[in-house]
Structure 1
Amino acid sequence: MPGKHSAEVVGAGLAGLTAAIALAQRGWSVRLHERDSEVRAIGAGIYVWGNGLATLEALGLSDAATGAHVGPALESRDHRNRTIERVPINGPGQPRVVTIMRDHLIGTLVRGAKDAGVEIRTGSEAVEAHPDGTLILRSGETVRADVILAADGVNSRLRRHYDVVARRARMKQGAIRLTVPQSAEYVPAADRDKYLEYFSGRRRVLYTPSSETSLYVALVADEDDREASRIPVDAAAWTRSFPHLAALLSACAGATGRWDTFEFLTLTRWSLGRLAFLGDAAHAQPPYLGQGGGCAMMSALGLADALSTPGSPVDQRLRDWEYAQRPVVEHTQRWSYRLRKLNNLPDTARSALLHAGALAPRLGASRMRAARTVPTGHGRFAGAPPL
């Protein structure tokens, strides 16, 4: 490929923005297409584990974590508000994780893209992408590039033209995600800085401080649980399951939220010729581990490293990238998918299982494999515990 390499990136989410920045920093000419009229964050808060933090550091965007919340532990609580699992974090030798408001993270990545020279086109909808490096836009424009990156989400329009879906499962559960102002009324002072997940029957409440003033809350339930999936939030219905969270649930009733049903997706292959799928378009996972965003960012950085390694054609570099990244990403997906089974257990059985898991260090290390990885270049990450 003589001259400056070129990339057309479709989708301005975590994966698309990360890949665009990393390629531009490596000397590529990059154009990023976002079909909406502006780049917007979808969701409320987000967990960024060690792999995501390492990716931001590698991009020179450590300031994305400015104002983030750094908690001392993740705890699971049973239907009686008893701690059944505790994972210490952010201490020496422990997993790193911070929580950030998603709009702040996306805003930082957009700024990083502009600083790196990425051309961001909003209101630009891609309708077809071809393995020869051709991209067709809704406007009728056709563009060619050395590589096309489809980061257009789990419902990827560009992926629909190819028989590459190995498995796609729509979960029975989903969540209402929202943000409420921080308040001392919600949990006892000793719990205020922790990341807390409460279980009761087939419902969960995720309590996530995400800045000094904002609290990210996820209300997880079965999709057919009409009371629990209703928007605005039915505070009375949720309080029946979690009476000790009455003040928090009352605040949720007045907040703007959105319901999302969880999905799981794997592909037979992540690339075709000069076309690659990344992020949720390639490996969507239910959010029970909170590692989907980190895996997307890690994989996107690895992609840029692989593409920028000379000596082989683009299609081979994409295959090398998949070979390096896929094992740890799919390991994390499998863990996330298995954890859905906790929803089906009676409270007593689930509590016993989580408590037993907390006493098994190898299980904990396996669950955190992706979260502990760090970039090493050439599409590879290192530092993860063995499978």
Structure 2
Amino acid sequence: MDNLKVVIVGAGMGGLTTAIAMRQAGYEVEIYDRVSELRPAGAGISLWSNGVKVLNRLKLGKEIAEIGGQMDRMTYVSKSGETLTDFSLHPIVETVGQRPYPVSRTDLQQMLLDAYGADQVQLNSKCVAVEQDADSANAIFEDGRRATGDVVVGADGTHSIIRSHVLGQSVERRYVGYVNWNGLVPASPDLAPKNSWVIYVGDHQRASMMPVGGDRFYFFFDVPLPKGTESQAETYREELAGFFKGWADPVQTLIQRLDPAKTNRVEIHDIEPLPAFARGRVAILGDASHSTAPDLGQGGCQAMEDAWVMSNALLTTNLGVADALKRYEAARKERTADVIRKARERSNMTHGKEPQETQQWYKELEHEDGTTIMDAISRTILKGPLR
């Protein structure tokens, strides 16, 4: 379809990727966000090859390669410091045809803003409702302004307002069962090799370091805790030192080296797979449509896949906007439901939902040569729209 106007609510990773894809498709694009300053949630993201392929198709391959980390190996280590398995990730690259690029979320968002035009994002625009008729759709903002287009895209995150319009009801998020602390530290060999993703495991907890651009590690700590456990930045270091007492020296060094003021603490939630992603001229994508636990590293990648599939659905049908958005929904609903379910299953195994399963996983890692892990990652990547 030609000459569409697309209104996008939300200027995070999914919204910006969608804006770039829609504009490259030849559509007029307006993008809005409720915040007064764009700051990404979280410190880093493991951008696997399916997400990178979307960026390649959007002519951003060179840019993502420049800000991405060089991740050549993957290593699991016991809490006492014994290597359980260590292997090259090169077979994944050979199988799927593209390197992964772990990246700082700030760098990724800036790259997308540069590609779209940061001055073209309309801030201080909190969407409170959506309306539509046979000919147009409107995003309505808190201050009374309205943005009218042929399509309204809800890229407004896990607490999405537009999701409620699409479904006709609100959706409660589900606590997955663990808390994640994450941030960035300078890369250093006393923490981990600079080209390896290193994960320490034990006691149903994890401590991880992954190389990102700028000679830094993206780190995270996972601890199963009851929902609503109180915490504040001033005590992060002491809390982590307690949770990871007796763990190997690099974990202790990381805890001492992190900056609590720049460390994020997140209670991890997901949502049940949704019955619909579109209603008439309105559609949702990214965390609005399939908020998932980060245990497969696929949240951002799925939002990028959404952007590509939606823009192509609009380009390749002449039966109208509603038809195109239903085709987008049909292409994405089961794919993203599968990611939600598998991320939840992996989270349960990793974080001791069934303690015997977690102990068995630790034992299996001692005999793992990387094949099983890489096969699972490759299968997830290759189910995407760009092979």
TM-score band, normalised by the shorter chain? 0.7 to 0.9
Over residues 98-143 of structure 1, what are the superposed CA-to-partner deviations in whole Å (9 max), with x where a residue is unaligned?
Answer: 111111110111111129xx94201111111134312111110123
Counterpart pick for 2:248 among 243, 246, 253: 243
Q: Is the Cα contact below 8 Å between 1:73 and 1:86 reproduced in 2?
A: yes
What is the rounded CA distance, in whole Å, between the counterparts of 2:379 and 2:131 in structure 1? 34
Residue 209 (structure 1) aligns with: 211
Residue 82 (structure 2) aligns with: 82
Alpha-carbon distance, 1:67 to partner = 3.5
Q: Is the Cα contact below 8 Å between 1:124 and 1:138 reproduced in 2?
A: yes
Residue 23 (structure 1) aligns with: 22
Residue 47 (structure 2) aligns with: 48
Structure 2 segments unaligned to the other structure (5+ residues): none
The answer to whether structure 1 residue 169 and structure 2 residue 174 are counterparts is: yes
Q: Is the Cα contact below 8 Å between 1:335 and 1:367 reproduced in 2?
A: no
Amino acid of the structure 2 residue aligned with 1:134? N
Residue 371 (structure 1) aligns with: 381
Over residues 186-207 of structure 1, what are the superposed CA-to-partner deviations in whole Å (9 max), with x where a residue is unaligned?
Answer: 23xxx33210111120321111
Counterpart pick for 2:361 among 350, 353, 365: 350
Alpha-carbon distance, 1:46 to partner = 1.2
Q: Is the Cα contact below 8 Å between 2:127 and 2:140 reproduced in 1?
A: yes
Residues 272 and 8 from structure 1, CA distance in 2 versus in 1: closer, same or farther, beyond 3 angstroms?
A: same
What is the rounded CA distance, in whole Å, between the counterparts of 1:154 and 1:173 in structure 2? 17
Q: Is the Cα contact below 8 Å between 2:80 and 2:246 reproduced in 1?
A: no
Alpha-carbon distance, 1:307 to partner = 1.2
What is the rounded CA distance, in whole Å, between the counterparts of 2:190 and 2:14 in structure 1? 37
What is the rounded CA distance, in whole Å, between the counterparts of 1:355 and 1:333 in structure 2? 27
Q: Is the Cα contact below 8 Å between 1:180 and 1:255 reproduced in 2?
A: no
Residue 137 (structure 1) aligns with: 141
What is the rounded CA distance, in whole Å, between the counterparts of 2:378 and 2:327 in structure 1? 24
What is the rounded CA distance, in whole Å, between the counterparts of 2:231 and 2:186 in structure 1? 21
Q: Is the Cα contact below 8 Å between 1:73 and 1:194 reproduced in 2?
A: yes
Counterpart pick for 2:202 among 200, 203, 211: 200
Residue 329 (structure 1) aligns with: 336
Residues 326 and 83 from structure 1, CA distance in 2 versus in 1: closer, same or farther, beyond 3 angstroms?
A: farther
Q: Is the Cα contact below 8 Å between 2:227 and 2:267 reproduced in 1?
A: no
Amino acid of the structure 1 residue aligned with 2:196? K
Q: Is the Cα contact below 8 Å between 2:199 and 2:209 reproduced in 1?
A: yes
Residue 220 (structure 2) aligns with: 218
Residue 108 (structure 2) aligns with: 105
The answer to whether structure 1 residue 181 and structure 2 residue 186 are counterparts is: yes
Q: Is the Cα contact below 8 Å between 2:81 and 2:248 reproduced in 1?
A: no
The alignment partner of 2:268 has SS state of strand
Over residues 144-178 of structure 1, what are the superposed CA-to-partner deviations in whole Å (9 max), with x where a residue is unaligned?
Answer: 21110001111112223443667742111120111
Residue 345 (structure 2) aligns with: 338
Alpha-carbon distance, 1:354 to partner = 4.3
Q: Tell which deviates more after alignment, 173-182 or 93-102.
A: 93-102
Counterpart pick for 1:156 among 154, 160, 184: 160
The alignment partner of 1:219 has SS state of strand
Superposition RMSD in Å: 2.7
The alignment partner of 1:341 has SS state of helix
What is the rounded CA distance, in whole Å, between the counterparts of 1:339 and 1:358 in structure 2? 19
Alpha-carbon distance, 1:230 to partner = 5.4
Amino acid of the structure 2 residue aligned with 1:105? L
Q: Is the Cα contact below 8 Å between 1:328 and 1:369 reproduced in 2?
A: no
The alignment partner of 2:198 has SS state of strand
Amino acid of the structure 1 residue aligned with 2:126? E
Amino acid of the structure 2 residue aligned with 1:350? W
TM-score computed with the length of structure 2 as normaliser = 0.87
Q: Is the Cα contact below 8 Å between 1:101 and 1:211 reproduced in 2?
A: yes
Residue 314 (structure 1) aligns with: 321
The answer to whether structure 1 residue 291 and structure 2 residue 302 are counterparts is: no
Structure with greater helix percent: 2
Amino acid of the structure 1 residue aligned with 2:208? L
Query: What is the number of residues matched between the two proteins?
Result: 370
What is the rounded CA distance, in whole Å, between the counterparts of 2:115 and 2:348 in structure 1? 39
Over residues 283-340 of structure 1, what are the superposed CA-to-partner deviations in whole Å (9 max), with x where a residue is unaligned?
Answer: 0111111111111111111111111223111111111112122332222222111011
Amino acid of the structure 1 residue aligned with 2:14? A
Alpha-carbon distance, 1:217 to partner = 0.8
Q: Is the Cα contact below 8 Å between 2:79 and 2:202 reproduced in 1?
A: yes
What is the rounded CA distance, in whole Å, between the counterparts of 2:22 and 2:381 in structure 1? 23
Q: Is the Cα contact below 8 Å between 2:164 and 2:171 reproduced in 1?
A: no
What is the rounded CA distance, in whole Å, between the counterparts of 2:8 and 2:170 in structure 1? 20
Residues 330 and 225 from structure 1, CA distance in 2 versus in 1: closer, same or farther, beyond 3 angstroms?
A: closer
Q: Is the Cα contact below 8 Å between 2:75 and 2:86 reproduced in 1?
A: yes
